Every structure is written in C-alpha cells, then in structure tokens.
Amino acid sequence: MHFLLKLSSLIDRVNERIGRWVAWAVLAAVIVSAGNAIARKFFGSGSNAWLELQWYLFGAIFLLSSGYTLLKNGHVRVDVLSTRLPRRTQVGIDIFGTLFFLLPAAVLIMVLGWPMFWESWSSKEVSSNSGGLIRWPAKLLVPIGFCLLLAAALSHLIKCIAFLRGQGPDPVPGAAAPTEEEQLAAELRARAEAETANVASTPLTDKGERR
C-alpha cells in the first residue's frame, strides 16, 4: 500500500502541475477571442486560423484539466442521497463508480482516440476552412486528456482504498466541510431568522402597528 500511495502522490503532482499550466490557456483564449472580436467589429477583418485557435484552446482547457478537476473534486456530483450516508459508505460508492464507470469510459475513449489522432497525423489533415489550422494537435488532446483523467481516477481509487483501510486521509478534499452553496444557504437562513426575531421583538403602537 505504501508504494501505491507514493504512486498516487506522483500522479497528483503531475496533474496539479498540468492543471496550473493549462490555466494560462484560459487567459490565452480570452485574448484571442477579444482580438478576433475587435478585428471583425472595427477593422472588418478576421482569420479562420485565429477562430479555430480559440476552439483548440477550449479543447485543451477542457481535456487537459480533467485530471486536475477530479483531483480537486471539481466535477459535478449529484449527491442527493449519498450525502446522507456515513462517510465510509460514500467512499465505497466512489470506489464502485470509479471501477465500473469512470475507468472503463476513460480507457475506451483513450483507446479509440489514438487511431483518430494517428490517421490525422499520417494524412497531414488540415481544416476544410480557408486558412484553417492543421487538425492533428486538436485530435491529440483527446487521448492525452483521457490518459490524465485515467491516471487521476487510479490515484483517487488508491486513496479511497487507503482511507477505508485506515491508512490514509479522506480522499475528497474538504469533504467534511460544508460547500460554498451550503454556507451561503446557512447565512441566508440565519439572516432571515434574525430579521424575523427583530420584527417579533418590535413593540406595537396604539394602532397595532410595529414601531
């Protein structure tokens, strides 16, 4: 188990670093998009290459940060029922979902993505749009992105098993703490209760109105 936890830590460091690098692609996408909009609006010119670069950057952000997002527990969870269960049961559900849904899907898409990339690379595929970019870099993002997601899923699985065996911390960062939505709901509830209490404590006038 010690070796597996070291492997998990290595995978997490790789995904952490890649996620931080890919964050700069968000800034690049914003700059390219703004530049395209300004060029078309004020100068009546544009380029399909720059437009497609926006799509490539969006694909890079979405695919290459998938492992980082899983590491940070940033994917959407529909936990209507499981949040009411004991924490160990929740981790057990995570193990089941990772083994029978996440891992098979990541492996399948990664395997199917490589031939698609190789065909594009071999044929030197270029966009059908005038002045468009070569296509293989965009198609390469698919297998690489799901490879990173697969690695992150294996790391998460190792941490879940270690937690159940009492050999590691909770695999989901901040799982015990309330989410931002829960904190906001609690603040709104407390504010409403305080306002209700203030109204109830305000004395009535002779006409039965609150002062």
pLDDT tens sequence across 59-90: 999 999 999 999 988 887 777 777 788 888 88
pLDDT at 204: 53
Higher pLDDT, 67 or 171: 67
**Rounded average pLDDT over 37-50:** 84
Query: What DSSP line would sit under 139-166, residue for residue?
Result: HHHHHHHHHHHHHHHHHHHHHHHHHHTT
Eight-state DSSP code of residue 179: P
Average pLDDT, the chain: 86
91: pLDDT strictly greater than 60: yes
32: pLDDT strictly greater than 80: yes
Partners of 204 in the β-ladder = 210
Residue type, 83: T
Q: Where are the domains of the chain?
A: 2-172
pLDDT at 169: 85
- Strand, coil or helix: 200: helix
**Rounded average pLDDT over 32-46:** 85
176: pLDDT strictly greater than 60: no
Nearest alpha-carbon partner for 137 in 129, 128, 145, 148: 145
